[in-house]
Amino acid sequence: MIRTQIQLTDEQYKRLKEIGHRRHKSLAELIRGAVDRLLTSEQPDRIALYRQAGAVVGKHAAEAENIAVEHDRYLDDGYSA
């Protein structure tokens, strides 16, 4: 773990100490838990991302049958045109 220092208002400190006492947790545990919840909420919803990707699959048909193998050549041809 990395040790860090933060500044809390008197009210924040008082309320956190009260919550910690009720939950039998240290101030550090409460703050780490709050940080974890913030970091989790900032992560993209992976299920939604997979659904979006799945919705696109198969929507467009390619004229060439070997596009998965030769995609670089097709891109190069497209940019050269």
Supply the pLDDT for residue 47. 81
Q: Is residue 69 part of a domain?
A: no
25 within domain boundaries: yes
Is 47 contained in some domain? Answer: yes
Query: 49: buried, middle or exposed (CB in 10 Å: 19+, 13-18, 0-12)?
Result: exposed
What's the residue count for the chain? 81
pTM, two decimals, is 0.53
Range of the domain at 27: 9-56
Q: What is the tally of structural domains in the chain?
A: 1
Q: For residue 40, is pLDDT > 90?
A: no
Q: What is the mean pLDDT of the chain?
A: 89
Q: Is 76 a member of any domain?
A: no
For the chain, the DSSP string reads ---------HHHHHHHHHHHHHHT--HHHHHHHHHHHHHHHHS--HHHHHHHHHHHTTSS--SSTTTTTSHHHHHHHHHH-
Q: Is residue 20 within 8 Å of 27, Cβ to Cβ? A: yes
